[in-house]
Amino acid sequence: MSVNEPPAECWLLVQDEDTDEHETGTIISAHCDCTAGAGETCTHVAAVLYALSFAREICLGKQIAVTELPAYWTAPGGSANQNMFVPIEQ
């Protein structure tokens, strides 16, 4: 694929309701119009699946982005206030 070619297009067939054969969210099929996509194993399909998985985790609140947390590197360390010297007992 060259820079001048249009981007690859992927599609997924996902189960939207529970059935006897498949649970909701089961991927039935995936295809891409790239050369490797005919075998259903191209990296474009994998990238779409990873993006969907990440988006689902973010939307459900299971995972938060690093930028949503306070900067942990600016917080004072806990060892600065601790006594590092412990007497040796005989």
Judged by DSSP in three states, 67 sits in: helix
Find the distance separating the first CA and the last CA of the chain, reported in whole Å. 74
**Do residues 12 and 48 make contact, with C-beta atoms less than 8 angstroms apart?**
yes
**pLDDT (0 to 100) of residue 2:** 72
**Do residues 26 and 15 make contact, with C-beta atoms less than 8 angstroms apart?**
yes
| pTM, to two decimals | 0.53
**pLDDT (0 to 100) of residue 60:** 73
Average pLDDT along the chain, 90 residues, taken 10 residues at a time: 80 83 81 74 86 80 72 68 70
